[in-house]
Structure 1
Amino acid sequence: MNDSTAGPADGALDDARPPAADPAPAPGERPWAEGGTEAGVSALDPAPPAPLGVARADTGQPEVDAVLRRLADVDHLATEGHLEVYEEVHQGLRSALTGLDTRPGPPPPR
Structure 2
Amino acid sequence: MSDWMPEPDTTPGAAPDTEAPEPVPAPEAEAPVPSHDPAPPAPLGVPRTPTGHPGVDARLERLADADHLPADGHTEVYEDVHRGLRDELTALDARPAPAPTPAHDIRS
Shorter-chain TM band: 0.5 to 0.7
Question: What residue is the counterpart of 2:45 in the other structure?
Answer: 53
Structure having greater relative contact order (Cα 8 Å, sep ≥ 6): 2
Q: Give the Cα–Cα distance (whole angstroms) in 2 for the partners of residues 78 and 59 of structure 1.
A: 28
1:95 paired to 2:87: yes
Other structure's SS at 2:77 match: helix
TM-score (norm 1): 0.57
Quote the offset at 1:105 in angstroms: 1.4
In percent, how many aligned pairs have the same letter? 63
Other structure's SS at 1:73 match: helix
Letter of the aligned partner of 1:94 in structure 2?
R
Ranges in structure 2 where 5+ consecutive residues have no aligned partner:
1-29, 104-108
Count residues in correspondence. Answer: 73
Ranges in structure 1 where 5+ consecutive residues have no aligned partner:
1-24, 30-40
TM-score (norm 2): 0.58
Q: Give the Cα–Cα distance (whole angstroms) in 2 for the partners of residues 48 and 62 of structure 1.
A: 31
Quote the offset at 1:108 in angstroms: 5.4
Report Cα offsets for 1:37-90 as digits up to 9, x if no partner: xxxx16xx8643001111111101100100110000111001111010000000
Matches within 5 A, 1:6-85: 26=31, 28-29=33-34, 41=35, 47-85=39-77
